[in-house]
Each structure stands twice: as C-alpha cells, then as structure tokens.
Amino acid sequence: MRPTFVLGRIAGVRIGVHWSVLLIFAVIAFGLARGRLPDTHPGHGWPVYWAVGILTAVVFFASLLAHELAHAIVARRNGVEVDDIVLWLLGGVARLKSEAPNPGAELRIAGVGPLVSLLLGGLFTLAAWLLDTTSAPGLAVEALAWLAAINILLAVFNVVPAAPLDGGRLLRAFLWWRTGDRLRATAGATSAGRAFGWFLMVLGLFLFVRGDVFGGLWLAMIGWFLVTAATVEGQQAQLRAVLSGIPVRQAMTPDPVTVPAGLTVAAFLADPRYRYRHSAFPVTGEGAAPVGLMTLDLAKRQPEEQRHAVTVKQVMMPLAEVTVVEADDPLADLLPRMQPGAEHRVLVLDEDALVGIVSASDVSRTVTWLMKTIPRGRGGGRGT
C-alpha cells in the first residue's frame, strides 16, 4: 500500500495517507453529524453537529496512528526497521522492512497495537464519565463515548487470531514458539485469516439479504480484504523460505546503465542507450555516486518544448524516495518492499558504490530458478 501523500515524520517514522482515507473519513463524519449526534442530542444547529463529527473523525484517525506507531516503535526496539506507516480505507499498516527475529519479538510487536487501542478506549471512557459527572455538553460526552467504543472494538477485532490482523501475528508467534518453524506458523495463521475472511463475507451477504445493505457490504469488503491479504502473506512466506540465504547480488542486474544528473531530458530521451530494454535508470552525480532514479515515464511527462532546458536531476526520483539496499543483504528481506513498475526499482550498493539494480521481475526469475534447482523441503528454518 503506497501513500498518496506524506504528512511528515513522527519518532523518525514516515507517515503517509492513502486517498481512500478520505472516503472512510467522510463516512464517519457524516454518520456522526447526520445520525448519531442529532439522534442522541437534538436541538443543535447542523454546523455544530458537523464540527463535532469532523473533530471526532480526526481524533479517531489519530488513534489509528497511535496504534500503528506503537507497532513501529516496538519493532525498531526489537531490531526490525520500519519503512513507513500508511493510513488507508480499513485502518492503518506499519510496513516493516523485515520479519521479527524470534517468536518473542513477534509477540511484542503484534501485541502492543491492540494494547494501545484498549488503553485509549479506557482513557476515552474515563474522560466521557468525568465530563458527564460535571454536566459538560452532551455532544462532547457522546463523541468521547463513541471514541471509547470504537477503540475498544478495534482492539477486540485486531486480536482475532487470523492473519493479517494483529491476532494473526500473535497466533503465528505462538505456533512459531511451539513448533520452531516460522513457515509452518505463518501457514497456520494465514489459513485462519482466510477462514475468518470467508466467514465475514458470508455473514455480510446474509445481512445484505436481510436488508442491512451498508452493514452487509462493509462486512463483505472487510472479509474480502482479509482473504486477499492472508493469501498474499502466505505466498510471501513461501517465497521467503525459498529465498532464505540468498543475497541481493544474486538477483540484481549488475553494472546498470546510469544517467548523469546534469543531462537534459531531451538528450536522455534521444540517447539510444536509454530507449531500449530498460525503463528505469540510476542517476549519478559527482564521482559516480547515485543520487536518484530516472524513468522514461518521468521524462515523457515533461512538456516537449521544455525538455531541452530541464535536467534529469530536476525531474528524477531523489535517492531518499528510492529503495536502496546492500549487495549482501538478504533477498528475502527485500520482498515486502518490492512492487511492479519502473518507479519501484531497487538500487544496490556495495560500500556506497552502485553495483546493480533490482526489479520485481528479477526477483521472480530468481525464484523460478531456485524452484527448479533446489530440492523440495528447503526453507522454513527454525526460529532462534
């Protein structure tokens, strides 16, 4: 899940937002402003209801962010680097660069999110009770009560033992500890995730037939997401087992064609070296050090009349936005960050020197080769 725009950084973690957040934000604000709030506390003007509804929705997403930040912070304390946090339609996700090193770390990383949501639910409950005892405005009490309920519900839902929910991670930690086999543990958690997802889809269909159109569709959508995400997670676990022990250098395209940062976009598009075979090229600055990534698509977006005056450096993806790895890093740890598309190429360094580039197709070819040459049963090593 790639963010549509980035809000900034909190505790060193980049915070992104997917466009679908706007949809669920509008649903929550509308439901409160035109439904729950006027039903429970009539007599106020519509601007008041909308103001409270929007503010409540903002606080709710802040709660989701706190949930995911807890995952990210505990992950870093357990030696797992964090790519970023992305808020989207069905909540949020902290994208980790690698897996937990052992079952204990998995347990801590997975468990802290629901714990934070439960704690927030308790705090909102306490705040609602205190305001109610002091005869505070009923709308404020109602908003806090809603936030308390939704955070507690979020905590309870997330501990359901089904991947990719936090409960699925907790189940995987238990199975990993019990069997010593991370791959078998992941298979068990993903199977539970698919089963739970199908249950929600069937329940959603039942509610839809009974007349609860919105609730039924919402449950069915969550179920579909769980089935899809659990399936992808299981496939990635199998790929990680196949790629166990394989360094990035074995999958990369070595000595890639590079583009000087000062080259004009017109010259870049006219040069035959950049028009065939590849669609993305590392950009180098002084001393041949990589400074970014240039794609044919980025170049072609520039108005034709401006291409002679605009340099590659002005339109490229800067190095900070490009995935960069070391040649001897485990290829399996790169899987969660790989996506199709020229803009998702990975630059490979060896002692700060550019030595290669990796695409999703490179990884796919490596997996195909390994599947043909490595005996069955390889992978799924024991946890430490």
With bands split at pLDDT 50, 70 and 90, how would you rate the model's confidence at 311? Answer: very high
Residue 104 has pLDDT above 60, yes or no: yes
**For domain 248-373, is the CATH number 3.10.580.10?**
yes
The two tokens of residue 180 are 């010593």
Spatial strand order of the sheet with 323-326 comes to 253-254, 353-358, 346-350, 323-326
Q: How is the chain split into domains, by residue range? A: 248-373
Percent with pLDDT over 70 in the chain: 96
Q: Which of 243, 250, 238 is CA-nearest to residue 374?
A: 243
Residue 2 has pLDDT above 70, yes or no: no
The two tokens of residue 65 are 């962010």
Q: How far apart are CA 262 and CA 210, in angstroms?
A: 65
Q: What is the mean pLDDT of residues 69-73?
A: 93
The pLDDT score that the predictor gives to residue 18 is: 82
Q: What is the mean pLDDT of residues 301-310?
A: 92
Read off the pLDDT of residues 131-163 as tens digits, 9 standing for 90 and up.
989 888 889 999 999 999 999 999 999 999 988
Q: What is the mean pLDDT of residues 339-347?
A: 85
The pLDDT score that the predictor gives to residue 379 is: 43
Q: How far apart are CA 155 and CA 105, in angstroms?
A: 20
Catalytic residue among 68, 99, 106, 233: 68
Residue 275 has pLDDT above 80, yes or no: no
| pTM of the predicted protein model | 0.74
Least confident of 27-31, 170-174, 188-192, 334-338: 334-338
Percent with pLDDT over 90 in the chain: 51
Q: ∠ CA(106), CA(111), CA(112), 5° rounding? A: 110
The pLDDT score that the predictor gives to residue 377 is: 45
Average confidence score pLDDT of the chain = 87
The pLDDT score that the predictor gives to residue 375 is: 55
Say whether 68 is catalytic. yes
